[in-house]
């Protein structure tokens, strides 16, 4: 009987598991004026929604960066997939290498929004693959009746903890018709604490990360001190995106060592991180100097980082994220999750993979509370700072086609100024003389 | 339509994916008198066959070590699985830690047949888990209609290359009623070359590994030289299982450097391997000093090994083997596969995972050609030294219940002398004064 069942399944799956169509939909989503060391988030920022449709009509969804260069890479990959098994996730890497080519000139660009160091064709291709991998996993899970976490070996926890992601910000974007919100400005310690309190009250977050590198270090030290006083004992983190020198990093570590869970990318490059790490007991985290597998060896053997903030968009998908986790376990390096601006599909993907990783040592980052737009029918809700791990087939989210259409129309209607995220250009709208600061800034 | 299909599947799978029963069958299989530095293979050697039966009657099969201590660990794990999802592979590790306890006294034992260094409870538990993980993957694949390689992300090659595994051996075991074969003795260079030629002619193997550590190094150097002359240009390997000193290792490396693909575990311990590696250009491979994740960091950062010979039994299954492969890729260390005495289930498992690993840099080892017993209905056939990767659901093998029953009866009938592999005890049958040699032996 088992055999018969198995054979019937095989026949049914052979069709269901073949990719019939891939749909790529670039969209523009509203984004608050969040500040970082390079500038400010644009009023609208691009994302790419990927749909992988199998021959039986099952639709899997994925999400990744939507800037023009990423779209250029995604198009040939999408065209290459029909006819291939949706389960062939290892093959995505081979196919992508074959068809994607080089994405224009990447040598002079800084990674969109990631403040991830120098862009390379490899990094961009992996980010594109990640969106396809998630869409394939979603489709595969739906066809098989399994949640994505089961396709990754099963969840080891029923919920995943996230931290509050605090940003310096003005009350609103410049310009008459830019998106607004009611958060108000947060440009000093009191503003940061007020923001933290609202995020904690609304979502239950128990830990706090402040995006720094915006103001001179003493101001940011004061903000973290204010957080420590307002939320005694809560884990705190500060992330200046590599804006500081080694000496400044060490000074901040010394001044905040008693309240920081970790210090995130205080300085740029693995070599400088190693210098800082050698002279402080405060753990250093990164999503800048270790964002690809080839960067691991140097950083881990020099002790440059104590925590890797993984990001499935950077690392090439959920399965690569699990491999990164295995490497971190093996080398005694901590693991948590980084976030860029993203929607509910990526948050579902993050939560599914996070649920399967035994050594998820810290609450994950997510920009999600700052996003008012989404392309799923039912937004994720944090309870006590946690998301419940969905056991529904696939990612457990449903595409809101009306929302997708509207956000795509916004992309179509855009004159090109918002289609490529550029935090420095956005900053120049308010401050015409703004230039991307050179590093170290302080 | 996709949604409806998906929901129907979910209901069907909820039942099919639950473990209903686990059957553990210890068996004794015939083994030729293969020599190694510790002694000789017994005439009969134990294996454990694991069947995981899901609620719809699907049977998944796995295979691992069958010695008493492993059976003691397997029993509670088997009892803990009914009612759990067969897809919960990450959970196997948690459950095993909870239920398996400590396997008697392991401190004074050397790993059965693995010559793997000191046994630990962790190592033994991982070997037991590996058999369950393979059985669960086989069942899962059969229920879902997917080959195991698809559950691991899909094959990146259609066939997997194996190498000829050469052994010094007498013509037969001592004793009247021990199993016989027609291979004859191989105790000198001519015998080794004749054995290699027959293995190459029968199976098409293109590379050769000689199990060494049996005779003084000069005799083994002569055997490898004879192989190099008989098979010019073919990859050759020599594996004395850590029997040599650093100086002897360096002397052999210098004398055979022009013909060796790699030198396998010339000396024991990571520290000694690092000493050898620092003074030779011949790559060093290991399945002794790096057989668990905690052993990786020291070996990789000291440059002690250039090739890890993975073994899914050691590492805790096929998914852990893929994680090991990711670590090797990341640190620029080569990868191939080790083998102990095993049957067709494990060979199927090795082939499935090998098919998914991009960085499988060398032909894999397998004892399989030496095994005349099996528990599958159709034995694997090497063609040109390769095995075709099965695309059938699960592992693509079918249990031969008649053979399983007969081999289990042999285990039941045994008076206990064969139920625990002990190469030194087997050696004492012919040489009563034999003691396990201390290391370094030469």
Whether A54 and A91 share a structural domain: yes
Q: What is the pLDDT of residue B114?
A: 46
Whether B280 and B255 share a structural domain: yes
Q: How many structural domains compose chain A?
A: 2
Smallest Cα distance from B441 to chain A, Å:
32
Q: How confident is the model at residue B172 (pLDDT cuts 50, 70, 90)?
A: very high
Chain A residues touching B394 at Cβ < 8 A: 6
The answer to whether residue A141 scores a pLDDT higher than 70 is yes
Whether B120 and B177 share a structural domain: no
Domain membership flag for residue A340: yes
Mean pLDDT across A123-141: 97
Q: What is the pLDDT of residue B108?
A: 45
Helix or strand holding residue B46 (H, E)? strand B44-54
- Of the two residues A200 and A100, the one the predictor is more confident about is A200
CATH number at residue A311: 3.20.20.120
Most confident of the following: A101-110, A285-294, B173-182: A285-294
In 3D space, the residue among B70, B145, B54, B27 whose CA is nearest the CA of residue B401 turns out to be B27
Domain membership flag for residue A438: no
Conformational region of residue A260, where left means phi above 0, alpha means psi within -120 to 50, and beta covers everything else:
beta
Smallest Cα distance from A263 to chain B, Å:
25
Smallest Cα distance from A86 to chain B, Å:
10
Q: What is the pLDDT of residue A116?
A: 64
Q: Alpha-carbon distance B236 to B230, whole Å?
A: 11
Chain A residues touching B58 at Cβ < 8 A: 2, 5-6
Query: Is A358 an 8 Å CB contact of chain B?
Result: yes
> Which residues lie closer than 8 Å to A382 by C-beta, 6 or more apart?
A162, A202, A203, A204, A205, A369
**Contact across the interface for A393 and B142, Cβ inside 8 Å:** no
Domain membership flag for residue A4: no
Q: What is the pLDDT of residue B21?
A: 98
Domain membership flag for residue A84: yes
Whether A128 and A179 share a structural domain: no
Q: Alpha-carbon distance A308 to A334, whole Å?
A: 6
Mean pLDDT across B236-248: 98
Whether B159 and B115 share a structural domain: no
Residue-wise pLDDT tens digits, A342-371: 999 999 999 999 999 999 989 999 999 999
**Contact across the interface for A58 and B5, Cβ inside 8 Å:** yes
Q: What is the pLDDT of residue A401?
A: 98
Q: 3-state DSSP helix/strand/coil percent for chain B, to nearest 5? A: 40, 20, 40
Question: Tokens 């940003």 label which residue?
Answer: A167
**Contact across the interface for A330 and B329, Cβ inside 8 Å:** no
Query: Is B1 an 8 Å CB contact of chain A?
Result: yes
Residue-wise pLDDT tens digits, B413-439: 999 899 999 999 999 999 999 999 999
Q: Are A302 and A278 in contact (CB under 8 A)?
A: no
The answer to whether residue B379 scores a pLDDT higher than 90 is yes
The answer to whether residue B104 scores a pLDDT higher than 70 is no
Query: Is A59 an 8 Å CB contact of chain B?
Result: yes
Q: What is the pLDDT of residue B117?
A: 65
The answer to whether residue A95 scores a pLDDT higher than 70 is yes
Q: Alpha-carbon distance A157 to A217, whole Å?
A: 38
Mean pLDDT across B173-177: 89
> Which residues lie closer than 8 Å to B243 by C-beta, 6 or more apart?
B37, B212, B213, B268, B437, B439, B440, B441, B442
Whether B127 and B193 share a structural domain: no
Q: What is the span of the domain harbouring residue A48?
A: 16-148+401-413
B 86-145 residues with CB below 8 A of A? 87-91, 93-94, 142-145
Tokens of A250: 């060490």
The answer to whether residue A7 scores a pLDDT higher than 50 is no
Q: What is the pLDDT of residue A226?
A: 98
State pTM to two decimals. 0.95
**Contact across the interface for A90 and B144, Cβ inside 8 Å:** no
The answer to whether residue A107 scores a pLDDT higher than 60 is no
**Contact across the interface for B5 and A57, Cβ inside 8 Å:** yes
Domain membership flag for residue B429: no
**Contact across the interface for B87 and A150, Cβ inside 8 Å:** yes
Domain membership flag for residue A424: no
Mean pLDDT across B247-266: 98
Q: Which of B12, B142, B327 sits opposite A327 (nearest CB)?
A: B327
Range of lowest pLDDT (A30-34, B26-30, B176-180, B389-393): B176-180
Whether B254 and B342 share a structural domain: yes
Whether A278 and A348 share a structural domain: yes
Residue-wise pLDDT tens digits, A292-301: 999 999 999 9
Average pLDDT over chain A, rounded to an integer: 93
Catalytic residue status for B380: no
Q: How confident is the model at residue A102 (pLDDT cuts 50, 70, 90)?
A: low
Whether A364 and A330 share a structural domain: yes
Q: What is the pLDDT of residue B174?
A: 92
Which of A8, A152, A153, A398 to mutate: most B Cβ within 10 Å?
A153
Please give the share of chain A, as a percent, with pLDDT higher than 90.
Answer: 90
**Contact across the interface for A150 and B85, Cβ inside 8 Å:** yes
Domain membership flag for residue A437: no
Alpha-carbon Rg for chain B in angstroms: 21
Whether A382 and A239 share a structural domain: yes
CA distances from A434 to A38, A114, A317, A426, B319 (A): 9, 19, 35, 9, 50
The answer to whether residue B75 scores a pLDDT higher than 70 is yes
Q: Which of A6, A90, A146 sits opposite B153 (nearest CB)?
A: A90
Catalytic residue among A338, A342, A367, A380: A338
Catalytic residue status for B75: no
ipTM associated with this complex = 0.93
Whether A225 and A351 share a structural domain: yes
Average pLDDT over chain B, rounded to an integer: 93
CATH number at residue B102: 3.30.390.10
Question: Tokens 């990526």 label which residue?
Answer: A346
Mean pLDDT across B253-258: 98
Q: How confident is the model at residue A119 (pLDDT cuts 50, 70, 90)?
A: confident
Mean pLDDT across A185-189: 98
Whether A121 and A195 share a structural domain: no
The answer to whether residue A332 scores a pLDDT higher than 50 is yes
Torsion sign (Cα): B370, B46, B18, A380: negative
Domain membership flag for residue A222: yes
Chain A residues touching B87 at Cβ < 8 A: 146, 150, 153-154
CA torsion B62→B66→B71→B74, rounded to 10°? -20
């Amino acid at each position: 009987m088992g055999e018969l069942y198995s054979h019937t399944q095989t026949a049914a799956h052979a069709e269901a598991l073949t990719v019939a169509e891939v749909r790529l939909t670039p969209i523009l989503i509203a984004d608050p004026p969040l500040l970082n060391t390079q500038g400010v988030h644009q009023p609208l920022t691009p994302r790419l929604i990927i749909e992988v449709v199998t021959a039986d009509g099952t639709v899997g969804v994925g999400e990744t960066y939507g800037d023009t260069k990423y779209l250029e890479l995604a198009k040939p990959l999408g065209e290459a997939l029909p006819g291939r098994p949706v389960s062939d996730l290892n093959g995505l890497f081979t196919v992508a290498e074959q068809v994607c080519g080089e994405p224009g000139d990447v040598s002079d660009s800084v990674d969109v929004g990631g403040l991830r160091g120098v862009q390379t064709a490899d990094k961009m291709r992996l980010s594109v693959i990640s969106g396809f991998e998630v869409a394939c996993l979603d489709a595969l899970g739906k066809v098989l009746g399994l949640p994505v976490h089961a396709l990754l070996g099963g969840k080891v926890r029923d919920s995943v903890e996230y931290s509050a992601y605090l940003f310096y910000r003005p009350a609103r974007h410049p310009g008459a018709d830019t998106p607004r919100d009611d958060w108000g400005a947060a440009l000093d310690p009191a503003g940061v604490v007020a923001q933290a309190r609202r995020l904690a009250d609304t979502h239950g977050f128990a830990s706090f990360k402040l995006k720094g590198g915006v103001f001179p270090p003493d101001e940011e030290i004061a903000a973290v001190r204010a957080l420590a006083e307002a939320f005694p004992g809560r884990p705190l983190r500060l992330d200046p995106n590599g804006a500081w020198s080694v000496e400044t990093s060490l000074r901040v570590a010394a001044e905040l060592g008693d309240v920081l869970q970790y210090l995130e990318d205080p300085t740029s490059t693995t070599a400088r991180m190693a210098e800082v790490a050698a002279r402080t007991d405060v753990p250093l985290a990164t999503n800048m100097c270790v964002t690809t597998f080839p960067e691991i060896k140097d950083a881990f053997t020099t002790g440059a980082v104590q925590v890797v903030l993984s990001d499935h968009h950077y690392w090439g998908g959920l399965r690569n994220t699990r491999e990164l986790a295995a490497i971190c376990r093996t080398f005694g390096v901590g693991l948590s999750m980084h976030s860029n601006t993203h929607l509910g599909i990526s948050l579902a993907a993050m939560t599914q993979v996070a649920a399967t990783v035994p050594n998820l040592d810290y609450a994950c980052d997510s920009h999600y509370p700052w996003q008012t737009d989404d392309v799923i029918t039912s937004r994720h809700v944090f309870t006590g700072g946690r998301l419940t791990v969905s056991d529904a087939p696939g990612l457990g989210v449903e595409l809101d086609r009306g929302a997708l259409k509207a956000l795509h129309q916004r992309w179509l209607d855009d004159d090109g100024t918002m289609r490529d995220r550029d935090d420095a250009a956005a900053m120049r709208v308010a401050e015409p003389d703004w230039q991307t600061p050179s590093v170290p800034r302080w």
